[in-house]
Structure 1
């Protein structure tokens, strides 16, 4: 069931890759990105501040509100690079990011932060955490389906698992020959991702089913655009224990006629213990995978839910 052959490229802020490109010649290397996830993906590194001509070392920059606009400049208000960062971000977003399956940004950076970047008042006497990094903003604006995350949030095991899962799903989508994809191929893709989406957002699963069910006679390009947009939005919500347990119960139903009474009880108890937070997701999943090995089912074997990414990443051990 586990087959990940295509090379996955992820964009990353260069400082998170360990490159000494920060204003003080330092870095903010992400051990998870480089030592764990890095074994399965290739990174394309970006330092927008260096890319627009800033030196190493350099003076610090911040976002500063001046009237109705925001500058990215030194604390004294000089050296505004806001327009340069925006132009560079737009160029990367439109020329390079289309080949990426995800992006990891440096949190709180005036160029790379995804959210909650400090925006100072012109006098420098106060700030609010309402900004978005100028470079990151362009990447996300022009690639709204691209899975993006910040290094700090990847410390949360649920957000970490969710990000990696979305990267692999998005890569699955990118490997389709979209010029040749019709309703049949879309429906098959949806069927493979059925239980994964159900575990994250049941409403999105039903809505996409209706979209495909009514697709005949409509513009297929518009259907494809709507499908991937709603799919990635639906998967962006980390799966709750309740939704996961309900999904596991649905999967259990496929084995109701082949398991012994003791096996059924064991599986029910594992799912309930997961629901109650006693055991991680990996416990009932392992049981289901075992039964699927013994009692083969072609439809379940194709379900991405069982192996959304390499098991060696151990992302389901802690959720």
Structure 2
């Protein structure tokens, strides 16, 4: 296990009774599963700006070309600027986070598809005011909503991003060199390749052309490109391509029968007959018998704790 990974989270998802109706939205996956690996930092922006519990509900409305957060029954109650300012006030601890889990549909915390009311029918086109400012201040931070974490692919993608970002933050926390950046890239190369092979090459090119740039500039360009790449869902085709690349390191170690078994398992994954954990487990088995330094240092075959079982359903 790596150093403590801090994750911001909407307070109601941890069971805190901070909602407008004095209730909560306890998320058992967050508390019972992710809580074993992450240190949660709960926060409720609505309570933090002084709104009482219980309180009159608020919502997003389109007004004069802008999106405002106002009272449902009394639209003279406008907390837009307070919520935005509250997000800015939290920068001192937001900057220590490696991820954030937000409450979906919330006019303050919703990450996407929040209802925006107009004179016509409401549209699910909004972003919560606090969440929008958080995303603006920290565009590279892995952020997800608790509802979307029910999808196994979105869940694996988010948690993978959290662990990669955590390792990145640990790397740049002290003095670092271009050599260390290149080592980091090598360790994550196959993760990047599984998401986007062309993007992975472009990411590597950033570290290969550093002559005219300060190290800090290179690092900033790299992490921005890296986190954008990782937001793309890794397709089955991308994993198949990556698995075959890794398989190539075993070509001189395996006999014909083992090679055929590995080919068959990768093909079964390609067809959707088995989950990703099956070819990954078989590769781990062969690399235990036939170690390879480069693969030993790579995170692709072990991107996050096995106990999370994230590869079992994708």
Shift of 1:218: 1.8
CA distance in 1, matches of 2:65, 2:258: 65
**C-alpha distance in structure 2 between counterparts of 1:186 and 1:173, whole Å:** 9
CA deviation digits over 1:277-314, x for unaligned, max 9? 00000000001000110001111001011111110000
Q: CA deviation at 1:216?
A: 2.4
Q: Confirm or deny that 1:85 pairs with 2:80.
A: no
Deviation (angstroms), 1:182 = 2.1
CA distance in 1, matches of 2:59, 2:139: 25
Of 273, 279, 284, the match for 1:284: 279
Q: Find 1:231's aligned residue among 226, 231, 256.
A: 226
Secondary structure in structure 1 of the residue aligned to 2:2: coil
Cross-structure match for 2:171: 176
d(CA) in 2 for partners of 1:249, 1:70: 48
Counting only pairs closer than 5 Å after superposition, residues 142-291 of structure 1 correspond to structure 2 as 142-291=137-286
Displacement of 1:266 in angstroms is: 0.5
> CA deviation digits over 1:201-257, x for unaligned, max 9?
111110011111111232221110010011111111121111101100000000000
1:27 partner SS:
coil
1:82-105 deviations in Å (ceiling 9; x for gaps): 11100001111x211110000000
| 1:29 match | 26
Q: Secondary structure, in 3 states, of the residue corresponding to 2:312?
A: coil
SS of residue paired to 2:281: helix
| 1:104 and 2:94 matched | no
CA contact (8 A) 1:183 1:216 kept: no
Q: Which one of the candidate residues 296, 303, 308 is aligned to 1:308?
A: 303
Q: TM-score by structure 2 length?
A: 0.97
Cα shift at 1:198: 0.4
Unaligned runs of 5+ in 2: none
Moved more, 204-213 or 98-107: 204-213
TM-score (normalised: structure 1): 0.96
Structure 2 counterpart of 1:71: 68
Greater relative contact order: 1 or 2 (C-alpha under 8 angstroms, separation 6 or more)? Answer: 1
Matched, 1:293 2:288: yes
Structure 1 residue ranges, 4+ long, deviating more than 4 angstroms after superposition: none
C-alpha displacement of 1:178: 4.7
Query: What is the root-mean-square deviation of aligned Cα atoms in Å?
Result: 1.1
